[in-house]
Amino acid sequence: MAEKEQTKKGEAPSEKKIKEALKKAEKRVEELERQLEESENTAKSAEEKASAAKNDYLRLMAEFDTFRRRGAEERLELVKSASADTIKGLLPVLDDCEIALKQLEGVEGSEDAVEGVNLIFTKLMAFLKTKGLEPIEAKGAEFDTELHEAVTMFPAPSEDMKGKVIDVAQTGYLLGGKVLRYAKVIVGA
């Protein structure tokens, strides 16, 4: 615009007009700088809100994942517990089968009965083994309070049997590596 005035009249714009134009330009620059600063503040605020929202989201997802995993573990533990209770209820049946086999061993003409009881015992034991049940082998082993329960102490037949299991009164069982029932044993003294 200043050039148009100069070309129209042939003279340079006055100093006053230049100062006014300069003041207008400075005001415009200040206004633009203020708008830029407001925009930067708004962007910074939006970034902080987005970062906070993202952190909240990640925290919530982690909590949900923990909740889901804990729920799955609790359900699995409940199933294991129910399974352990059921198997524990079957242990007296195994005991009865063992007792019946011992009672029938010396009786004449009981071969069919021994075979039948042995068949039932074997099938039941095979099924329970698939569920993680295993008998605790105790006879002749060193007495271990983690696996054995001493019913009584008996004079050891030899020096090497002292502190060892001489006989088993009731078979103990492990379920999944944990003691389901301690073996009741007679320990050599």
pTM: 0.56
Q: Locate tokens 């399974």: which residue?
A: 83
**What are the C-alpha distances in Å from 154 to residues 92, 115, 139, 166, 183?**
26, 33, 14, 8, 16
Mean pLDDT of 63-86: 86
**What are the C-alpha distances in Å from 57 to residues 44, 64, 71?**
20, 10, 21
Mean pLDDT of 54-62: 94
151, 116 contact by CB (below 8 A): no
Per-chain mean pLDDT for the chain: 85
Give residues with Cβ within 8 angstroms of 157, minimum separation 6.
Answer: 166, 188
Mean pLDDT of 110-137: 87
